[in-house]
Chains A and B, each alone.
Chain A
Amino acid sequence: MKLTVNGQPAQFDVDPEMPLLWALRDVLGLMGTKFGCGIAQCGACTVMVDGMPRRSCVTPVGSLEDASITTIEGLAVGDRPHPVQQAWIDEQVPQCGYCQAGQIMSAVALLEENPEPSEEEIARAMTGNYCRCGTYPAIRAAILRASGQETGPPAANASERTIDRG
């Protein structure tokens, strides 16, 4: 089995039926891509295959000969986070964080295809990604920020004092 993962050639010998998710995690040791359901319901396992978002839990590696895979680990350039990751930091999106690699991959795929998505387009692209912690409003804000459509002060602003002292 030969493919490219985050720009590096990867070669391994597994059952071609093995889903890409488990090849990434258990064979290549890339733990950023997460298992949530295994049936393409939750999006936790989202990666990009040749630039398109894919649920790696239902994608057999055998179907990926010579494909180019990007996982969450492949987004940052050195120490510099990808702009979508930076927007996620600015908006302080994660709670438990487990779903967030999948969320970020879906958002990156969306913005590569459509740099200034409308609210509706965002909803369509993100609706396959579950977040049990309920960070959807923060995800929305981060996507708007990453696409330059939101420029106000981010969620965690140290000067913020907005408590009604009554």
Chain B
Amino acid sequence: MGKLGTITRRTLLVGTAAIGAGVAFVAWRVNQPLENPFRGNPDSGDTALNPFVLIAEDGTVTIVVPRAEMGQGVTTTLAALVAEELDVGLSDIAVIHGPASSAYYNAALITSAMPVEPWDDGMMADGFRQFAGIVGKVMGMQLTGGSTSTRDAFDRMRIAGACARETLKATAAEVWNVDRSTLQTRNGSVIDPSGPRSVRYAELASAAALREPITDIEPRDPSEWTILGRSQHRVDVPAKVRGAPIFGVDMAFDEMLYGTVAMGPLPGVKAKKADRNAALAIPGVRAVVPLSSVYGEGFGVIADNTWTAFKAREALAIEWESEESYGETELNAAFDEAFDAGGGDVHRDDGDVDSIFSEAAEDDILAADYAVPLLAHATMEPMNATARLKDGKLDIWCGNQAPTLVRRFCAEGLGLDEEDCRVHTMMLGGGFGRRAEFDFALYAAQMAERTDGIPVKVTWCREEDTRHDLYRPPARARCRARLDGDGAIAALDMQLASPSILGSLMGRMGMSAFGQDATMSEGAGNQPYRLENFRVSTPEIDLPLNVGFWRSVGNSNNAFFMECFLDEIARSADRDPLELRLSLLDGFEPAKAVLRKVGEMANWQGGSVGPNRAQGLAFCFSFNTSVAQIVEVSRDDDERISIDKVWCAADCGLVLDPAIVRAQLSGGIVFGLSSAMMQEITLKDGAVEQGNFDTYPMMRYHQCPSIEVSLSRRQTFMGGVGEPGTPPAAPALANAVAALTGERVRTLPLNKAVTFA
């Protein structure tokens, strides 16, 4: 957590504004240093805007959150930060995503008081963290780097709540002619114990809006907390259980049209032939329109309902002018070439790796190559957006992780000013990084140009979603270690080859990439392991396909390489994999503590648990959170492997809501296990082979292990929780399978080598 004392040293601007008869409290701050124990102390330099605490005349407290709810519980935790200071119940607070409410839109006063628009801060997509600062500066957008988004909100939300509380108290103090410090607040009222008398916030709101806000206030000490630090009922759960129409795909108007898209197999590939007439002959089909973007070329179909649009998409029977015959052979060749050429950015270079290896006898060197495939996000809610272009104004409704990107590129695509494009963020039926892009919104916008002001809801079919993702890059590792006679690692050299996400992203944004792409080595090069001689370099390959942010980004592949190779080193040196890691983590207690803890939870005995049963261990420090996991697997008489149990010990510093943190880590584990067990995207003849869930499956109920999560708190800084559960899952499973079968599988998914029950 942020040290409370530092808050007052920051520049804090706090304002109030009247909205109707209510009041809005606005808080933001400038220039907050980023704390990262392994990367020096870079200055994120971002201007963090938000939040708004709105108290309407009917007493409703609304907070405007700049982040998208995609299941990570962010709306609940951010509301809790405000509720804690404002002395209102969590259930009494409404949370809205940016400018979705008309009350908010009309609050011109607020917007004009801001240096930039408030929803700009919404660019906190998980995957953007590593180079958010760079992209943000280049594009003039508000990005918050690293896991600081939590810390950032942690201070700002509480300050906003505290300012609102104290200003309301000051208003009451004036009316009652008493000293503000004698007043208390409880359940949405200011209370004067000497009266005793009390007044509801609602009655004070309009007067509070007229006064200078109280700003010299510190948030409460955690020891006084009654909401934070305890598991809360999530504010988004009731609607989700009721089946309420809250997702992008649920957008509805009295008069509307429906659509879908049919895009080319690779960016830039155009249609050679399309049977538009066949599509238009289907009753209910209104139009077939060409679509074009940096993501690809193709068609949009507009119809009276989604099903008819899906049918028309098939009727188009498009032939693509596929000059590109890219496939697995080409991909293999690209990797071979990259490794042969060597080079690439060097992300870590401790000691003198080359000379240690040059002096080594062949027998002392352990070498292994690993490979992981492209992966799709497969959000359960397929890509979709609803767009309306009316009177020169574009409105877009969609779940998204990056509203500013959506606005900017949709406006640009239609030749509009950004002010004429409004983005309404809906709940996300899964994000995992996929909805940090803007393709789905842009296509809907292009189709809205053809519907005379009538909104069109454009829903992708699953095949389209799987084949037009921004994939987790394929990656391969060439690892070498020199072992000492006593089993210590004298030197470790890791070449991590992959396409660059940063390069792919910048290409889509029309910019050239610069600097190192930290995502290419994160999960390996940035780990707290201390080795005297340790080098991580990242040769880059080209790919004719877009790659993007996939839950935990580079950690998802690099932790697999790092943690599997450490396991192999331990086996070959006859050391316990847990003990080996502990010996490398000297100086970073939180990591050692989670490893010891997970060992205790699983009753770790080095990996073997008797016949037909084994355990595997892995660790990863990602997004400022230390996570250690042990996976236990067993084998039945038919050699089919079940994943029976996962133990997870994590330290993300201060925990604001234990149940949400556990749920996130547990969900991240399932996500990682799914990929390790069975997921891969492959290319053939210049197209993605997989389409629906029958070819790109995910873990099902009966395959899901029981998962036990333990949280500890030794870290003095806060970490993220949405992603860090994912990286250790795949290597822990692979290590368990190796312990079970005695054979090391170095290529994912594992089901190419073993069978899962």
Contact = CB atoms under 8 A, between A and B. Distances in A.
Interface of A: 14-15, 18-19, 22, 25-27, 29, 31-39, 41-42, 44, 71-73, 76, 81, 85, 88-89, 92-101, 104, 122-124, 126-140, 155-166
Given A41-B692, A134-B667, 18 more contacts: A19-B307, A35-B382, A36-B693, A41-B694, A73-B242, A85-B242, A92-B663, A93-B241, A97-B239, A97-B240, A98-B430, A124-B702, A132-B380, A132-B671, A163-B711, A164-B597, A165-B712, A165-B713
A130 B692 CA distance: 13
A102 B381 CA distance: 13
A122 B711 CA distance: 29
A129 B671 CA distance: 15
A131 B699 CA distance: 8
A29 B245 CA distance: 10
Nearest to B229: A161
Contacts, number: 217
Contacts of B247: 31, 34, 97-98
A132 B378 contact: yes
B142 to A, nearest CB: 24
A99 B427 CA distance: 13
Contacts of B230: 158-161
A36 B249 CA distance: 11
A72 B666 contact: no
A126 B380 contact: no
Given A44-B380, A96-B381, A136-B701, A155 B231 contact: yes
B236 A97 contact: yes
Given A72-B243, A130-B700, A134-B670, A97 B712 contact: no
Given A38-B461, A92-B237, A132-B430, A137 B381 contact: no
B462 interface: yes
Interface of B: 70-73, 229-234, 236-247, 249-250, 252, 258, 283, 305-308, 310, 378-382, 427-432, 459, 461-462, 593, 597, 655, 658-659, 663-664, 666-671, 674, 692-694, 697-702, 704, 706-707, 710-714
7 contacts: A33-B243, A96-B70, A98-B380, A100-B240, A130-B380, A138-B663, A165-B713
Contacts of A33: 243
Given A36-B462, A166-B712, A157 B380 contact: no
A96 B429 contact: yes
Contact of A26 (B258, B655, B664): B258
Give the one of A29, A98, A134, A164 with max B CB within 10 A: A134
Contact of B244 (A32, A44, A138): A32
A166 B593 CA distance: 9
Contacts of A41: 692-694, 697
A89 B238 CA distance: 7
Contacts of B704: 134, 136-137
A37 B713 contact: no
A133 B430 contact: yes
A27 B381 contact: no
B231 A160 contact: yes
A96 B428 contact: yes
B126 to A, nearest CB: 13
A132 B70 contact: no
Nearest to B706: A137
A122 B702 CA distance: 9
B243 A71 contact: yes
A81 B242 contact: yes
Given A123-B702, A156-B233, A136 B693 contact: no
Given A98-B381, A164-B597, A166-B714, A32 B232 contact: no
A22 B307 contact: yes
B666 A137 contact: yes
B659 A155 contact: yes
A104 to B, nearest CB: 7
Nearest to B460: A35
A19 B305 CA distance: 11
A98 B664 CA distance: 16
A93 to B, nearest CB: 8
Contacts of B242: 32, 72-73, 76, 81, 85
B241 to A, nearest CB: 5
Given A81-B242, A163-B711, A94 B462 contact: no
Nearest to A30: B243
Contacts of B432: 132
B249 A35 contact: yes
B243 A134 contact: no
A157 B310 CA distance: 45
Given A29-B252, A37-B462, A98-B430, A156 B699 contact: no
Contacts of B431: 96
Contacts of B72: 95
